Amino acid sequence: MKLPALTGCVGIVLATAVVLMAGGCSPSPKAAPSSHTAAVSAVVGDFGGGIGDIWFDLERTGVRFVIRGTDPVSWWYASRSIRASRETGRSLVVHFDADKGVIDPKGNSPVFPVTGLEYNDRTMELQSRDPGEDKGYLGSHAERALAKGVGQALAGQGDEAQASLGEALAWRLDNPLKGLALKTRGALVQEQVEGQFVGPDADSDRLLMQSFGDLRQAEQLAPNDTAAAYALGEVLIDLGAYDEALGHYRAIAERWPDEAFWTSIRIASIYRLRGQLQQSLKQLDQLARAATPSGMAYHYHRGWTLVAMGRNEEAVAEFTAGLRSQPDYEGAFDMRACALARLGRLHEALDDDRTAERLYRKLPTSGEEARVRAFELRRLARIQAQLSAAIAAGKPATSQVSCGGWWPWRMVRRERSPVLSASLRLTDKPVYASPLSSPTRSVFSQLKPPSASGSRPKWP
């Protein structure tokens, strides 16, 4: 699936999640972002447009970005990069104006103007008209406040986003838009918990229950939105409600058969988290037997389970296979370093940890990914120092140093939260609409682990 690098000025990469690419001549110099500019990386889904205008979606998010009124040269490079991102699985960073978002009246999805595209430490600056200037995009005050809140949430501006979303909810919104507001607020609270708490405790669980309430209501208001369903599953995992999370993902697969691959990945990750490694591996191997498209997501999670089982040679092979489809996924280098160190291949492990560090440094420095970025950079610095010392001292051939200190949310098993039994019945199946219809792809959907098309995940 990987295409050769394009000749030309710019590459772009999208991640929530990944990915565009171009190479060649020097792009415009990088400018300091304004206070309202945000950055996000994720996979390109649909895209289109004409000369001077481009629109594109981030895969599995429902967020649309537009480049309108740019000069022909910038348009050509940007459109070529967007197409390449979709096809190659390499990463692109999109800079956008979080304050100028609007709601597309045709799809109830947020739309933001792009201010820049970044690839490989190079930045293309872009001029894009406010999408609100276009007929049909003006929207109501409540819709403007909602779009602004979504953009601020993407930008990691938690307090501002809470205020904007609260303002939107104070007005009358139809059910899908109210569901979007509640889903965004619920996901934002969950992300703030993961960023501010080093692990679960009574305060974090109280906030997670607030998140659960918003997401549950969002799921009921917009029952065709898979994003709300996936986000609700994440909160269940954060609360240690593993049985309920397993049932929830199975219900999603039953409701939407085309989600079977991603629900299987989630179910396998829960089994692994609970130490049920054979069940985790069996769940993943069923995907292979079904000839389901795999790519990084399958290889990464299978490799992770093999590492947990101590089958390190096989794990190295899985991560290596995944990197053929997504060669810039930092998590695969990080995990492969663990398997290599256990095999005594310390120099290779150190090289992978250094590569992971370099790739983590390319993640946006604001928003949700900034928390993972800062955590992993601290962790990798400690690991590299210990590996370097072990190599210099000629210490024992094998090492566990690359295999610990993981992100504390959804990578480390916790006890079931005591607030659950007294507060909620979580065994009910999600409330889904009938008849079956195509799910809405909305902001803060589950950022899936990278597939063959590429995507940067939330852990796991």
* Residue 46 zone, left/alpha/beta (φ > 0; ψ -120 to 50; rest): beta
Does 98 fall in a domain? yes
Number of residues that make up the chain: 460
Identify whether residues 9 and 146 lie together within a single domain. yes
pLDDT band with cut points at 50, 70 and 90 for residue 188: very high
Q: What is the CATH number of the domain that holds 349?
A: 1.25.40.10
Number of domain units in the chain: 2
Say which range, 6-15, 152-161, 210-219, 319-328, has the weakest mean pLDDT: 6-15
pTM (two decimals)? 0.80
- Give the residue carrying structure tokens 């629109």: 55
Does 55 fall in a domain? yes
| pLDDT over 70 at 36, yes or no | no
Final residue before a domain boundary, out of 157, 181, 206:
157
Q: Return the percent helix, strand and coil in the chain, to nearest 5.
A: 50, 10, 40
| 427: Cα separation from own chain's centroid | 27
Residue 119 φ then ψ, to 5°: -145, 130
At 433, which helix (H) or strand (E)?
none
Q: In the predicted model, what is the mean pLDDT of residues 120-143? A: 75
| pLDDT over 90 at 232, yes or no | yes
Does 428 fall in a domain? no
Does 194 fall in a domain? no
CB 346 within 8 A of CB 399: yes
Range of the domain at 388: 275-412
Does 231 fall in a domain? no
| pLDDT over 60 at 273, yes or no | yes
Q: In the predicted model, what is the mean pLDDT of residues 339-355? A: 96
The string of DSSP codes covering 318-370 is HHHHHHHH-TT-HHHHHHHHHHHHHTT-HHHHHHHHHHHHHHHTTS-SSSHHH
